[in-house]
């Protein structure tokens, strides 16, 4: 049995799936405006089941890490395939970045032939013939006249086969304890590059199972994990568990999702957290299996000063 800070780690695994991903960098005259644009562009993008894409902010970029030397934010976008990704990207950049004061938008992944999607090259038509392009170091940038100057958007954006649906479950003695642990996990994962947490605030409380007693619904509440249904269904919850939160992780590659899982689980192992579990479909659906015990085996146990 594996325990960390008296929290039990279940011997189970998260099942994750491939999704196509892009990294977009938005810059602006201030970090606040770059964040405003990125938040709008990554809104309403919790799950590709109900939204056109999954999206989230990856991290803040200081001026010396952005293409134009201004403060920036990188955000990731995931969709089922490249066509869906291109459509969501063009519309989200067009609605949320092009419209937003002082912003520019750059590609944040290597461009590989036949794997890139066109964003600036589509949005340029908004310029009504007054757009111009500039090439620098083999990359093309479109400059579209707008009311506060010009909107610069890179022509092509690289894509990769990413890994979506990484996850773990936090089983807590109370809602307060489980939520505090979920927040700690989210905060710890914010330091990991290459991943996002697509759900609101990085936390999910509506875990679902496949299928439903209503034919038109393909998914419904995961009753085995609902504390209020403990007497009515075959519950998966120990007696002292009264609330569960899930952390869902999308990443640019498997290793990033693994690192995020490790950081998140370690932070979630706190007083009031009974157990850490993970969600899977028996292992038959998703090609990626993230085994909690393997991931957490080597957590650092060097003695530390008291906290």
201 near its own copies, judged by CB under 8 A: yes
Binding to its own copies (CB under 8 A) within 54-93 occurs at 62-64, 67-71, 91-92
203 near its own copies, judged by CB under 8 A: yes
By beta-carbon proximity to its own copies, the closer residue of 114 and 138 is 138
By beta-carbon proximity to its own copies, the closer residue of 229 and 254 is 229
Q: Per-residue x/- mask for its own copies, residues 135 to 174, rule CB under 8 A?
A: -x--x-x-xxxxxxxxxx-x-------------------x
116 near 82, Cβ under 8 Å?
Answer: no
CA distance 54 to 108: 17
CA distance 87 to 275: 40
CA distance 252 to 23: 9
193 near its own copies, judged by CB under 8 A: no
Rg of the chain over CA atoms, in angstroms?
21
Binding to its own copies (CB under 8 A) within 171-190 occurs at 174-180, 182-184, 187-188
Residue identified by tokens 């520019």 is 104
Burial of 230 (0-12, 13-18, 19+ CB in 10 A): middle
Q: Which segment (157-165, 211-219, 253-261, 285-293) binds its own copies by CB under 8 A?
A: 211-219
CA distance 16 to 279: 9
- What count of other Cβ atoms lies within 10 Å of the Cβ of residue 184? 18
Binding to its own copies (CB under 8 A) within 227-246 occurs at 227-229, 232-233, 243-246
- DSSP sequence for 84-98: HHHHHHHHHIIIIIT
By beta-carbon proximity to its own copies, the closer residue of 209 and 291 is 209
To its own copies, the closest distance from the beta carbon of 287 in angstroms equals 25
Among 4, 59, 80, 102, binds its own copies (CB under 8 A): 102
| The token pair that represents 52 in the structure block | 């056109």
Q: Which segment (11-19, 73-81, 124-132, 284-292) binds its own copies by CB under 8 A?
A: 124-132
* Helix-then-strand count for the chain, H and E: 6, 18
To its own copies, the closest distance from the beta carbon of 266 in angstroms equals 9
Q: State how far Cα 257 lies from the chain centre.
A: 10
Q: Per-residue x/- mask for its own copies, residues 270 to 299, rule CB under 8 A?
A: xxx---------------------------
By beta-carbon proximity to its own copies, the closer residue of 112 and 233 is 233
């Amino acid at each position: 049995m594996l325990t960390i800070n008296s929290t039990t780690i279940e011997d189970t695994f998260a099942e994750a799936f491939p999704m196509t991903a892009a990294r977009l960098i938005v810059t602006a005259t201030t970090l606040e405006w770059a964040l405003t644009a990125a938040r709008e562009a990554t809104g309403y993008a919790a799950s590709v089941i109900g939204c056109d894409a999954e999206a989230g902010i990856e991290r803040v970029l200081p001026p010396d890490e952005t293409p134009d030397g201004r403060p920036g934010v990188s955000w990731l976008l995931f969709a089922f395939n490249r066509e869906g990704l291109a459509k969501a990207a063009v519309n989200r950049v067009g609605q949320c970045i092009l419209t937003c004061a002082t912003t520019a938008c750059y590609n944040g992944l290597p461009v590989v032939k036949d794997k890139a999607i066109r964003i600036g090259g589509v949005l340029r038509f908004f310029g009504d013939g007054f757009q111009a392009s500039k090439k620098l170091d083999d990359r093309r940038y479109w400059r579209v006249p707008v009311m506060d100057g010009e909107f610069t958007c890179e022509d092509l954006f690289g894509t990769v086969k990413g890994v979506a649906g990484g996850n773990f479950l936090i089983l807590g003695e109370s809602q307060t304890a489980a939520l505090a642990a979920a927040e700690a996990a989210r905060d710890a994962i914010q330091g990991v590059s290459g991943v996002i947490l697509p759900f609101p605030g990085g936390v999910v409380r509506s875990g679902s199972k496949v299928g439903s007693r209503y034919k038109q619904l393909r998914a419904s509440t995961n009753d085995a994990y609902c504390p209020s249904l403990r007497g009515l269904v075959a519950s998966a919850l120990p007696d002292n568990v009264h609330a569960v939160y899930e952390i869902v992780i999308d990443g640019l590659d498997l290793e990033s999702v693994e690192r995020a899982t490790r950081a998140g689980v370690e932070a979630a192992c706190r007083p009031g957290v009974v157990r850490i579990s993970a969600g899977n479909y028996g292992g038959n659906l998703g090609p990626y299996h993230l085994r909690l015990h393997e991931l957490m085996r080597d957590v650092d146990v060097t003695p530390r000063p008291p906290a």
